[in-house]
A and B are shown apart, each in its own frame.
Chain A
Amino acid sequence: MAVPDSLPVTFIGHPFAPIGMGEQLRSHLAAASAAHVEWGVLDIFRYAQRGDAAHHDLIGDREIARPRGGIRIFHVNGDEVDRVLDAFAARGGDFAGGYNIIVPAWELPLYPKQWAARLTKFDEVWALSAFVQESLATAGVMSHLVGQSVEVKPGLLLPRRFFAIRESAFVLLHFFDLTSYAARKNPFGVLDLFGRLRRAAPFLDIQLVLKVKDGEQDGADWAEALGSDPLVRVISTPLDSLGVRSLIAAADCFVSLHRAEGFGRGLGEAMAMGRLALGTAWSGNLDFMTESNALLVRQTQVQVPADAYPHWQGQTWAEPDIDHAAALLAPVLRDPARGRMRALRGQAEVLRRHGNRAVGLRILDRLDAIAAALPGRGRTAPRRRRVAAPTA
């Protein structure tokens, strides 16, 4: 059974935004293409700048100006559902006149109940990771695990010199976002780890590269505070897709001592590019990181401190064991070839399970199942298959 052409597939969200929600949507576009699914994309708010050449390469002329029927896949978060649906209606969209899927992101083990209620407006929910799926389930939301692609299109890469990174060094790379709640990404844990490594081997040729998401004052402050240390390089200027993929390729090891990740895209992309990944052994990144293909850092579950994250009440997250992280890295620093062997395994496994085609086929499977369930194969409105209501 195949998706009929009479049932167009539209991805809706923030296709040009340099944020996680944009990345997950674009990853689904690339995945759908790899499975030969025809799609259109609707930029629901049109806020984002459109300066990134890679986005245009991906989307081409497949952006549509107005909502249409068929299957709609919304890459939006629970908290923006109402605004998105208002905008959808304002753009002339008939929400009830199609089959609606939502792909929400979330980073903690319990999905917020007030958002779950909004998800019930949709016919179906797709989960970006097993972790998100379980989190949704705690709020009574049934979802299909589709995941997201971490495949990075090969192309030009800017060299280390472009970023003024030490060419000789073993480079640890960490991404974080100061505009979000910094505690979750845990950059302080990474600094702590780096400090330990240096104390253990003061003349080891290593460098820490911190890519700070936002070029705002906080980022500049960070850069200034660390600026005196030649072995820590803070990059706070915004980077486009070329810049980001080049930076990942420039690293030897991508480090994330996160307390929680919905999926852990940075880790996944680094692995897809053949780079070693070191990450907390908890949450979304466990979809693709294993003991044998990456470095997984032991953790203990702790209560999320008050106001450390939205909807923190009653949630737990990980406290990674920094000593363990240092111990995992020590043999790799002694013999980087060992890290490269592990990374090679990681690359193969990630691309096979979380590459464009693998994810695209999971999307295709869902679309086929939806199409198969339609009476009259798409000529009439799809049968509603409501998402379960949240448990009280």
Chain B
Amino acid sequence: MSEENKRHLSRRAMEIATAIATAAAGGAICYGAIEIGIGWTETGPAPGYFPFYVGLLIIVGSLANLVRAISIRDWNTEIFLDIEHARPILAFALPLVGFMIATLLLGLYVATLLYVSGAMIWQGGYRWWVATLGGVAVAAAFYCIFEVAFQVPLLKGPIEGWLGIY
């Protein structure tokens, strides 16, 4: 356990990783721009002209950040994220991803119901029927606000179809 707590990601590692990632994005942008032409056409600058220089500036900025990340000493000891802090983030992020997948399968309303109820049971420590009521209330409120008041449809899944809601 104590061994585990010492494991962490340093700020420097994260700075370097981010700088490399943005540089890679810049590279991809330049590549995409070159594909569509970065020169001059009879209608003015080619479509890739502007994005190419944008990509180039991203690469330049990323390199500057990379140099800075390596040269600033304090960032070596500064902790970006350790296990202790990663736990609550995962406890928040994993259900969030679950919610996304549920949304794709079941639609936004049912996924919201499940997500809110689930979080209330496992993270809030509520009894199951309180949590279910909470989830239903939130989903119903969404329906009233979006579908009825503003008339914007949200993603629906098979269950609404069975119930004949739409």
Chain B binds chain A: no
Query: A residues within 8 Å of B by Cβ?
Result: none
